Amino acid sequence: MDTLDPTIHQPARLQIMSALTQLKDSERVDFTYLKDRLGLTDGNLGAHLTTLEARGYIAIDKQFVSRRPKTFVNATASGRTAFASHVAALTSILGTK
């Protein structure tokens, strides 16, 4: 049986990974989009992104766009794999396929 990933299992991080893994491998979203989509504060989202980045589940790229700082986020290959395993574990626990 697959096991739940405690890093992803936290509700906000589960939402973040769910949003990011719906994108194509080459796609990324900006911080503000995630914040607005998930209804999180700057500080809360930043803390969760730091945790996910430390595990290698996401990549964060900070750039200047039109002279303004902008943060982009995408799921890494290992993050996508970890998320798929977590979903499989949840499915197993629920007894659904």
User: What pLDDT band is residue 30 in, cutting at 50, 70 and 90?
Assistant: very high
In the chain, the domains with their CATH numbers are 6-91 (1.10.10.10)
Say how many C-beta atoms besides its own lie within 10 A of residue 66's C-beta. Answer: 5
- What's the order of all strands across the beta sheet hosting 29-30? 29-30, 68-75, 58-65
Amino acid 74: pLDDT: 98
Amino acid 96: pLDDT: 67
Q: Structure pTM?
A: 0.91
Q: Which amino acid is at 45?
A: L
